[in-house]
Amino acid sequence: MLKGKTALITGSTSGIGLAIAQGLADQGANIVLNGLGDAGAIEAARSGIEGRGVKCVYDGANLMDPAAIQAMFGRIDPIDILVNNAGIQHVAAVQDFPDDKWNAIIALNLSAVFHCSKLALPNMLAKGWGRVVNIASAHGLSASPYKSAYVAAKHGVVGFTKTLGLETAEKGITCNAVCPGYVLTPIVEGQIGDQMKVHGKNRDEVIRDIMLARQPTKKFVTVEEVAATTVFLCSPGAASITGTTISVDGGWTAL
Ligand code: NAD
C-alpha cells in the first residue's frame, strides 16, 4: 500500500513510535527512525525494520533544537509521511513546575511538530500527496492536574493539526491527530514513579486509581492499536479524513 513512500517517525526508538515504524514498514514504506537511546537497541530496531524488506535509516537529531531538525532534513530522503510522535512528560503542580521542564516539553511536544511539518511539506506539496499524523493524546482534548506543560502542548498540537488540515485540504495532503489514552510504554513507566511520589500511593494503586480511573476499558491501550490507527490514516480509505482527531483511549473522552 505504501511502497515507494518514505516515512519519518519522530521518537521511534521505543514505545509507540517504534510500533508505528514497524506498521508502516509492513505496508512497504521506507523508514527514517529518530530518537534517543542505547546504540545497540537502536541498531537492532533498525535492522529489524530492514528485515521487513524496506530501507531503514536512523537519524539521532535532538528535536528540541530547531537547527538540529533542519540539519536532519538535509540528510534524509524527502518525506511523504510524517508521524510527529516524539514526546516527554513531567508531573508537578504549576507553582512547583521547573521552567526548564516547561520549555523542554513545549519545544519537543509542540514546536518540533511545527518545525518537522514545515520542512516535510515542500516535498508533499510538490508531489500532491502527503500524510501528517500527529500523536497527540487524550490530554490534547481534556486535562489532568499536575501536567500543565504536557496538556498545553498537546492541546496546541490538536489546534495545529486543524490548521494544517485546512491549509493542505486541496493539495492531496491530510493532517490528523491520534489521541491515545494510557499506553504502557517507557514514558508511562516514568509517570508511575512520579505519580507515586505526588499521591503517596504504591504502583498498583497508581495504575488502578489514577491512570486507569478515567479509562473505562480498564486496560492499557497497546502500541499496536495506535500503530494500526496511524497506518489507517495513511491508507487510501482515509483520504477524506483531515484536520481532525481520532481517539484511541478506551472510552476516556466519552466520560
Ligand atoms: P517513549 O518514551 O517510549 O518514546 C518517546 C520517544 O521520543 C523515544 O523514542 C525517545 O527517544 C524520543 N525522544 C525523547 N526526547 C527526544 C528528543 N529530544 N529528540 C528526539 N526524540 C526524543 O514514549 P511513548 O509513550 O511511546 O510516547 C510517544 C508519544 O505518544 C508521545 O508524544 C506521547 O506524548 C504520546 N502519548 C503517549 C501515551 C502513553 O500512555 N504512553 C498516551 C498518549 C500519548
Which domains are seen in the chain, by residue range? 6-183+221-254 (3.40.50.720)
> What cell was used for 111?
514546536
Distance 35 CA to ligand 1 centre (A): 9
Does residue 146 have an active-site annotation?
no
Q: How close is the Cα of 15 to the center of ligand 1, in Å?
A: 7
Copy the grid coordinates of residue 151: 496538556
pTM tops 0.90: yes
pLDDT at 208 (0 to 100): 87
CA–CA separation, 136 vs 139, rounded Å?
Answer: 7
Contact by Cβ (8 Å): 150, 137: yes
ipTM surpasses cut 0.95: yes
Q: Give Cβ neighbours of residue 123 (< 8 Å, ≥ 6 apart).
A: 78, 79, 80, 130
Say if CB 178 and CB 226 are below 8 A apart.
Answer: yes
Among 88, 219, 221, which is best to mutate for testing ligand 1, by the most ligand atoms less than 8 A from CB? 88
Q: What is the pLDDT of residue 133?
A: 99
Residue 29 burial (CB count, 10 A): 28
Ligand 1 within 6 A of CB of 87: yes
Q: What is the CA(108)–ligand 1 centre distance, in A?
A: 10
What pLDDT score was predicted for residue 143? 97
Beta bridge partners of 82: 8, 132
| Residue nearest atom 3 of ligand 1, based on CA coordinates | 15
Helices (H), 37-76: 39-50, 66-75
Is residue 215 within 8 A of residue 251, CB to CB? The reply is: yes
d(CA 33, CA 50): 11
The cell numbers describing 202, all together, are 504504591
Provide the residue-wise pLDDT of the chain in tens; the chain has 255 residues.
999 999 999 999 999 999 999 999 999 999 999 999 999 999 999 999 999 999 999 999 999 999 999 999 999 999 999 999 999 999 999 999 999 999 999 999 999 999 999 999 999 999 999 999 999 999 999 999 999 999 999 999 999 999 999 999 999 999 999 999 999 998 788 889 988 999 999 999 999 888 899 999 999 999 999 999 999 999 999 999 999 999 999 999 999
Tell me, in angstroms, the distance from the centre of ligand 1 to residue 73's CA: 20
**Cβ atoms of 48 and 77 closer than 8 Å:** no
Residue in this structure with the C-alpha cell 486541496, named with its chain if needed: 170
pLDDT score, position 188: 86
63 lines ligand 1 (CB under 6 A): yes
